[in-house]
């Protein structure tokens, strides 16, 4: 039994280390990884050596580490992810080409947003560098994922919500579902120069695990208009997913 528990412990530590690279920092030093995982340096060095040997991690020339190409190949081979990216990428490219704005396909990682795919033109690279890892309830994309999630009444927060806050939260998500998209609040009290909008992508079973997100400059790009554009693109991707599912059904014949 101790051997099994030991193996589980090793796997857990390996995933803790790999998880350090999924945020806005594509490269990490040993000190960074120790700080994030609370693992001792000797353990981190040993795990990094093993992960590097198997191509999951690679070392850069500056004594830092990043995810290796083998992980990319494995992840790209997951059927659902491959299908989603194949359907979404052309639609995202079209949206970026018509607007010249940053666009992305987004999902959730716990209570935070995670970008699956993004279109970064020369003028939008810095936008993604500054995006970070916002929590679901502080970004339109997160509101979309929560509004169509399994427990839409639950708001990720470190404290219990008062009754009036819970009511306002339900009203917010109800409005998102009614509009078919969420967008950044307007008004002079908001100091961020960017506004965002997002709309849900529906899988074949009508669940929502991803959304289309588009960003613009406050005062120049009305967020409601961005929301409508995101909704149109999300519907195109949803239709593509349904069409691909039908095309790959066993025994289906084509005219």
Mind listing the pLDDT tens digit for each residue in 178-199? Answer: 999 999 886 544 567 889 999 9
Cβ-contact 74, 91 below 8 angstroms: no
Q: Predicted confidence band at 255 (pLDDT cuts at 50, 70, 90)? A: very low
Tokens of 113: 């947003």
pLDDT recorded at residue 149: 85
pTM of the complete model: 0.66
Q: Predicted confidence band at 67 (pLDDT cuts at 50, 70, 90)? A: confident
pLDDT over 60 at 105, yes or no? yes
Cβ-contact 223, 183 below 8 angstroms: yes
pLDDT over 50 at 47, yes or no? yes
Taking the C-alpha atoms of residue 100 and residue 58, their distance in angstroms, rounded to an integer, is 34
Tokens of 61: 């020339």
- Mean confidence (pLDDT) of the chain: 80
pLDDT recorded at residue 178: 94
Tokens of 119: 């279109």
Q: Which residues sit opposite 195 in a β-bridge? A: 216
pLDDT recorded at residue 7: 44
Among 8, 53, 52, CA closest to 33: 52
Among 145, 156, 150, 215, CA closest to 181: 145
Mean pLDDT to the nearest integer, 99-109? 89
Percent of the chain with pLDDT over 90: 30
**Which region, left, alpha or beta, applies to residue 251 given φ > 0 means left and ψ of -120 to 50 means alpha?**
left
Which residues, including other chains, have CB under 8 Å from residue 241's CB and lie 6 or more apart? 83, 84, 87, 201, 202, 203, 204
pLDDT over 50 at 228, yes or no? yes
Which residues, including other chains, have CB under 8 Å from residue 10's CB and lie 6 or more apart? 47
CA 109 to chain centre: 7
Among 68, 76, 133, CA closest to 106: 133
Q: Which residue matches tokens 């929301």?
A: 227
* Cβ burial, residue 152 (10 Å; 0-12/13-18/19+): middle
pLDDT recorded at residue 188: 46
Among 102, 91, 98, 103, CA closest to 124: 102
DSSP, residue by residue, 21-90 = TSSS-S-B-HHHHHHHH---HHHHHHHHHHHHHTTSEEE-TTS-EEE-HHHHHHHHT-HHHHHHHHHHHH
111 DSSP 8-state letter: T
Higher-pLDDT residue of 34 and 78 is 34
């Amino acid at each position: 039994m101790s051997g099994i528990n030991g193996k589980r412990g090793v796997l857990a530590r390996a995933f803790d280390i790999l998880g350090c690279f999924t945020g806005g920092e594509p490269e990490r030093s040993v000190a960074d990884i120790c700080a994030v995982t609370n693992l001792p340096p000797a353990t981190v060095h040993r795990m990094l050596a093993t992960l590097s040997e198997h191509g999951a991690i690679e070392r850069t020339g500056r004594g830092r580490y990043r995810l290796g190409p083998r992980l990319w190949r494995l992840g790209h081979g997951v059927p659902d992810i491959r299908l989603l990216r194949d359907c979404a990428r052309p639609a995202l490219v079209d949206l970026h080409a018509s607007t010249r704005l940053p666009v992305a396909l987004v999902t959730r990682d716990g209570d935070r947003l995670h970008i699956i795919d993004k279109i970064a033109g020369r003028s939008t690279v810095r936008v993604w560098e500054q995006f970070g890892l916002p929590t679901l309830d502080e970004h339109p994309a997160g509101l979309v994922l929560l509004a169509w999630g399994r427990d839409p009444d639950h708001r990720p927060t470190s404290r219990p919500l008062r009754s009036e806050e819970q009511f306002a939260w339900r009203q917010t998500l109800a409005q998102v579902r009614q509009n078919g998209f969420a967008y950044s609040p307007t008004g002079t009290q908001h100091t961020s120069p960017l506004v965002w909008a997002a709309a849900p992508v529906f899988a074949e079973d009508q669940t929502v695990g991803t959304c289309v997100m588009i960003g613009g400059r406050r005062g120049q790009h009305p967020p409601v208009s961005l929301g409508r554009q995101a909704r149109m693109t999300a519907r195109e991707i949803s239709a593509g997913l349904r069409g691909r599912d039908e095309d790959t059904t066993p025994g289906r014949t084509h005219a």
